[in-house]
C-alpha cells in the first residue's frame, strides 16, 4: 500500500503490505478501503523481497471458501517474518465472508491460528464492505501504539 507522499506534510508514514495466495481478495480489499470500489477482475502483481522491505504492518489474507489458502498462511507468515522486523503488526484476514454457504475454514480455526501466532484476526468481505475499514484501522492503530511507545 503506497503511503501519502507529500514529504513535508505528514506526521507518520507507515508501510503496510498485503500478502496471501492469489485470488484471496487482496486488491479488492485495498480498492474497497481506498476508493470504495469492488471489481470482478483479478490483477494483483507478484511479490518480491523488496515488497517487504521496511514494512511495519501486514494484512495476511486467506479466502474462507478455499482451505488451501488457509493452509498456505503459515508459509506466508514465515516469509514475512524472514523479511521484516519482529515487531511487525500482522492482521490475519479471512476474506469473502459473504459466501456463507461455501465456507471451508471456520471462524474458530482462523481465530485459534491467529492466537497461536500472536496475530490480530478478522473476517471480512470486500464485496459487501464488511470489516474492511475496521481491519485497516486496527492495523494502523496497533502500529501507532508501538511507534508512539518507542518515541517516549
Ligand atoms: P488477489 O489476487 O488476492 O488480489 O484477489 P482479487 O482482489 O483480485 O480477487 C480475486 C477474485 O475474488 C475476484 O474475482 C474478486 O471479485 C473476488 N473477491 C474478492 N473479494 C471478495 C469478497 O469479499 N467476496 C466475494 N464473493 N468475492 C471476492
Going by CA atoms, what residue is nearest to atom 26 of ligand 1? 96
pLDDT category, 40, cuts 50, 70, 90?
confident
**Averaged pLDDT, 101-125:** 98
Would the ipTM clear 0.85, i.e. be above it?
A: yes
Q: Whose CA is nearest to atom 7 of ligand 1?
A: 25
Among 21, 25, 29, residue to substitute to test ligand 1 (most atoms within 8 Å of Cβ): 25
Q: 30 CB less than 6 Å from ligand 1?
A: no
Q: How far is the CA of 124 from the centre of ligand 1 (A)?
A: 11
- Give residue 111 CA to ligand 1 midpoint distance, Å: 21
Torsion, Cα 83 143 105 46, to 10 degrees, reads -40
Q: pLDDT at position 44, please?
A: 65
Q: Check pLDDT > 70 for residue 131.
A: yes
- Look at residue 49 and tell me whether its pLDDT is greater than 90: no
CB of 46 shorter than 6 A to ligand 1: no
Amino acid at each position: 500500500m503506497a503511503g501519502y507522499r507529500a514529504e513535508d506534510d505528514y506526521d507518520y508514514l507507515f508501510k503496510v503490505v498485503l500478502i496471501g495466495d492469489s485470488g484471496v481478495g487482496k486488491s479488492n480489499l485495498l480498492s474497497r478501503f481506498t476508493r470504495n470500489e469492488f471489481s470482478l477482475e483479478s490483477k494483483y502483481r507478484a511479490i518480491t523481497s523488496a515488497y517487504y522491505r521496511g514494512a511495519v504492518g501486514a494484512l495476511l489474507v486467506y479466502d474462507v471458501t478455499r482451505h488451501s489458502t488457509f493452509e498456505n498462511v503459515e508459509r506466508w507468515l514465515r516469509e514475512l517474518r524472514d523479511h521484516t522486523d519482529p515487531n511487525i503488526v500482522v492482521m490475519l484476514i479471512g476474506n469473502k465472508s459473504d459466501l456463507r454457504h461455501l465456507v471451508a475454514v471456520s471462524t474458530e480455526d482462523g481465530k485459534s491460528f491467529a492466537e497461536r501466532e500472536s496475530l490480530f484476526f478478522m473476517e471480512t468481505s470486500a464485496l459487501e464492505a464488511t470489516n474492511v475499514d475496521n481491519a485497516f484501522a486496527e492495523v494502523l492503530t496497533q502500529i501507532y501504539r508501538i511507534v508512539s511507545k518507542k518515541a517516549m
